[in-house]
Structure 1
Amino acid sequence: MKKVFVVGAHGHVGKQMVEKLGKQGYATLAGVRNENQFDEYQDMENVEPTLFDLTSSPEDMTTAFKQSGAEAIVFSAGSGGATGDDMTLSIDLDGAIKTMIAANNAGIKRYVMVSAAGADNRSFWPNSGLPGYYVAKHYADAYLKNSGLNYTILRPTALTNNAETGKIVLTSEADSKMDIPRADVANSVVEILGDDNTVNNIYEITSGDKNISDVL
């Protein structure tokens, strides 16, 4: 696999992800909302910004994916914590599902979802501060598992801007604070795309003391 389409490439994780993928030799399409964001990618190796609208139709997304020549889709988009539940449903749920429909229609079978730790834990949602977000992530993940795509779901804990460590652990094995640098989430996606053994698996991760490649 050498060509990857990243949906949500202008996010805090997505931007680091496309840069890391490009450095690893992937021809990386950075899906962004606005042409004004294109200049931010001009110095990144093997990265090409492209317009992608998560509010568009599955048919338009299918056309975009077909024209891209991508062999894998990574969904790393989010409406952001400042928006209401209506935008969260539009982007994090409906937008995500439309990309899955489009990926299938475009014949792109590999799909990686950046989700969130706790998406399968209903008891966590009410006190999370973002219950609508977790509902959206839960049902987007559920749709993906039944989509027929060769999926991997990555569920990181709370995101920080700390320096990357290259070390993670599954949350089920963690005994430390539940957070993880965004850079290590990006590193994990790069690792996932390079390892077919991650197909049809779900990983809930946080900072830890194990090499990413060993955990995944």
Structure 2
Amino acid sequence: MKRVLIIGANGKIGKILSRKLKDEADFEPVAMLRKPEQASFFDDLGVERHVASIEGSVDEIAKIMKETDAVVFTAGSGGNTGHDKTLTVDLDGAVKSMEAARLTDVKRFIMVSALNADDRDLWAASGLEPYYIAKHYADFVLKTTDLDYTILRPGRLLDEPGTGMINITYPEKEDGVSREDVAGVIVQALKQKDSIGKIIAFNQGKTPLEKALSQG
């Protein structure tokens, strides 16, 4: 059984992913939380959890990562924080997590990024330019490492129930994707070795996500 550290586990995607991995025979989720008061959800679920901040030291992250086999980075500063948090969480937090993975010899690393993270022409128009800059450069750094990475780039995140169907061929033609389906894509990426070294952009669609990833 592979132990998967979820960084950003208390977020919406992180909680859904924790549930999904808990139900998988081949995976054991390990939640990394920022605050002790976030623990009750994971205790009730029966998921191992640890409190640490990605704004802390690399060693602090590595201590938790040491006994795991894979990392999913799905942390984010959120829409109600300043640009400083976007830098320290979405960018530097991601890079410190990569450094911790290399220190602990954890090779598998899945990054939850954002659709259009490489399209500078769209950043300013979106009103989210600092966010896209952070995602772009976190992805850039990850691609330069020797980690077995997969970069996932979902479109606009929705809270509606997942359909299990996505579009990776022309994701820009679809408007959004449920967080439940994003979590489902993460699970499939963990299962499919041929997703290693790939950037997978997606939105809602009509292709079963397992099939879509195997074709991506």
Identity %: 39
Judge conservation of contact 2:162–2:181 (CA < 8 Å) in 1.
yes
Quote how far apart the aligned CAs of 1:34 are.
1.0
Structure 2: state its 5+ residue gaps: none
Quote how far apart the aligned CAs of 1:90 are.
0.3
Aligned residues: 212
Name the SS of the counterpart of 1:24 in structure 2. Answer: coil
Judge conservation of contact 2:4–2:71 (CA < 8 Å) in 1.
yes
Quote how far apart the aligned CAs of 1:174 are.
4.3
Structure 1: state its 5+ residue gaps: none
The equivalent of 2:196 in structure 1 is 199
Normalising by the residue count of structure 1, what TM-score does the alignment of the two structures yield?
Answer: 0.95
Name the SS of the counterpart of 1:148 in structure 2. Answer: coil
The equivalent of 2:175 in structure 1 is 178
| Distance in 2, Cα, partners of 1:174 & 1:29 | 31
Q: Which amino acid aligns with 2:124?
A: P
The equivalent of 2:105 in structure 1 is 107
Q: Considering only aligned residues, what root-mean-square deviation do their CA atoms show, in Å?
A: 1.2
| Distance in 2, Cα, partners of 1:145 & 1:65 | 20
Judge conservation of contact 2:50–2:64 (CA < 8 Å) in 1.
no
Judge conservation of contact 1:117–1:157 (CA < 8 Å) in 2.
yes
The equivalent of 1:127 in structure 2 is 125
Normalising by the residue count of structure 2, what TM-score does the alignment of the two structures yield?
Answer: 0.95
Provide closer, same or farther for how the CA distance between residues 17 and 174 of structure 1 changes in structure 2, counting only shifts above 3 A.
same
Quote how far apart the aligned CAs of 1:144 are.
0.2
The equivalent of 1:116 in structure 2 is 114
| Distance in 2, Cα, partners of 1:133 & 1:105 | 27
Quote how far apart the aligned CAs of 1:35 are.
1.2
| Distance in 2, Cα, partners of 1:61 & 1:81 | 24
Provide closer, same or farther for how the CA distance between residues 19 and 59 of structure 1 changes in structure 2, counting only shifts above 3 A.
same
Task: Answer yes or no: is 1:56 the counterpart of 2:56.
Answer: yes
| Distance in 2, Cα, partners of 1:23 & 1:78 | 25
| Distance in 2, Cα, partners of 1:48 & 1:163 | 26
Judge conservation of contact 2:172–2:203 (CA < 8 Å) in 1.
no
Quote how far apart the aligned CAs of 1:2 are.
1.3
